[in-house]
Chain A
């Protein structure tokens, strides 16, 4: 239902009633504004009071209750016994000369690098048995002729050299 369902007489009466003004209140405006200001800050003050009380309680508890020693974790490292370690232990220690010398061919790169950085290039030794290796024949310039399509060309033949 809407207000336009009112009869004209009802509308006229509503208009007449609207012309009346409610009596002035006896509420003191200044008192109300003062009380309102106090009420708005009261909540903040209470929050601070609560916070302070909690902090004081924590402080008292911290002072009264002795602190317990906290359990500490200690890590102990033990050498692990691996299956190949006995053989390593049984091998005789190398002589200082052997220990210092790093074979040029067999050494790994890292080992070689560390040795060179620590003791200089003198530590490098030539390969133990160079004779064991098969000599690689170096081709003579005459052998280049006819070896391939480009090597046999005139510009790069041995005769021109």
Chain B
């Protein structure tokens, strides 16, 4: 059975720039600009891109934290974009979001147990007595001890804080979890432990993940589908292994070349991506990547390429293919 759990259609999110007195016609930042995605139940979708490519905005728009400027989000077949808040609450239980810095998302004055019970109280999914048991069960499944509920957040290490953040989400038994840079700022050894745990949890609870990261290696390990984002649009989409073995879009190629690898010592003439992500207010005309693209020709600056299927399950937006 391959059920589509999440689908976005031409999803857009523009942020208007404040109007000034004399300059009435305000500009806007096109943070997410026409994203189509489909995610199967039990799948793991990786979203990669540089900072400023709109990864986090996309996640927040899917969650309904931001209202989409255009386009729709479907969850388990139902349209969830622009739902009234009371109906959104039930959806929010099923789609959960893990913040970049889990330590900062806990109340420093609350014992961990209280923080972990709070989502249960809000959503009223369990009777009072069941809550304590549920919290303890979940703590065990993320590799923490039962009596950790009496501690304060600062008493935990960075890796443990990530486990706590996971526990707080898992008490609600969600079906889709969006991770925003789940391992940034962690040591490689702790990163490996957390990734192992995430894989185990997915198998145990039958979860679906969206994995946002700028670390391509991590995304490669975790996901089965990958979407490469650049300035609010998806430039390449496909099966993770296929994209990594044979990247088609020149942005993906350059992104992969930039990865530090053990083998290439002392290479000083390797191809590097030039410059930085341009200002999202004044986007380049045509294809957004052309000012940094080594393969750019005239058509690239005139016409923006559409995301087209080039082979089975592989989509790419580039004129040079």
**Does A pair with B?**
no
Q: Which residues of B contact A (CB under 8 A)?
A: none
